[in-house]
Amino acid sequence: MYDHPTPAPLDEYEWPVCVTPRCNRQLWTAETGRWACRPCEDRTVSRIAELPALFRQLDTTASLMRGARRPGASGGGSKTPPIPPRLEVLALVGPGGVAARLSAIEDSWRSALGWTVAPWRGSPAQAVPLLAAFLANNLLWACSSYEEVGQDIDDLRRLHSECTAIVNDERRPGRVQIGNCPTIVGDEVCWQPLTASAGSHRIHCAACNAKWETLGEWRELRAAQERVLEELALEKPATAA
Give the residue from 150, 167, 184 where a domain finishes.
Answer: 167
Give the pLDDT band of residue 12 (cuts 50, 70, 90): low
Q: 120 and 20, same structural domain? A: yes
pLDDT value for 189: 92
pLDDT value for 81: 43
pLDDT value for 20: 95
Q: Give the count of alpha carbons within 13 A of 142, CB side only.
A: 26
28 occurs within a structural domain = yes
Instruction: For residue 145, count other CB atoms closer than 10 A to its CB.
Output: 13
Q: Amino acid letter at 31?
A: E
What integer best gives the mean pLDDT of the chain? 82
Q: Average pLDDT for residues 186-190, to the nearest whole number?
A: 90
Give the pLDDT band of residue 218 (cuts 50, 70, 90): confident
**Domain range for 79:** 15-167
Q: What is the model's pTM?
A: 0.65
Ranges 114-123, 164-173, 190-199: which has the least confidence: 164-173
pLDDT value for 172: 52
Instruction: For residue 241, count other CB atoms closer than 10 A to its CB.
Output: 5
User: Residue 204 forms beta bridges with which residues?
Assistant: 211
pLDDT value for 80: 43
Number of domains in the chain: 2
Locate all alpha helices (DSSP H) within the chain, ordered by sequence. Answer: 38-65, 87-93, 98-113, 124-145, 149-167, 215-240
CA atoms of 130 and 123, how far apart (whole Å): 11
Q: Is 122 helix (H, G, I), strand (E, B) or coil?
A: coil
Q: 219 and 150, same structural domain? A: no
Give the pLDDT band of residue 39 (cuts 50, 70, 90): very high
What angle, 0 to 180 degrees and rounded to 10, lies between the N-to-C axes of helices 98-113 and 38-65? 140
Q: 41 and 159, same structural domain? A: yes
Q: 40 and 100, same structural domain? A: yes
pLDDT value for 27: 93
1 occurs within a structural domain = no
pLDDT value for 131: 98
Tell me the pLDDT tens digit for each residue of 76-127. 444 444 445 567 888 899 888 999 999 999 999 999 999 999 999 999 999 9
First to last CA, the chain: 116
CA atoms of 98 and 226, how far apart (whole Å): 31
pLDDT value for 76: 44
Report the phi/psi class of residue 85: left, alpha or beta, with left for phi > 0 and alpha for psi in -120 to 50.
beta
Q: 153 and 52, same structural domain? A: yes
Give the residue from 118, 145, 167 where a domain finishes.
Answer: 167
Give the pLDDT band of residue 150 (cuts 50, 70, 90): very high
148 occurs within a structural domain = yes
Give the pLDDT band of residue 213 (cuts 50, 70, 90): confident
Residue 171 predicted with pLDDT over 70: no
CA atoms of 146 and 7, how far apart (whole Å): 29
CA atoms of 103 and 127, how far apart (whole Å): 9
Give the residue from 145, 167, 189 where a domain finishes.
Answer: 167
Query: Who has greater pLDDT, 44 or 75?
Result: 44
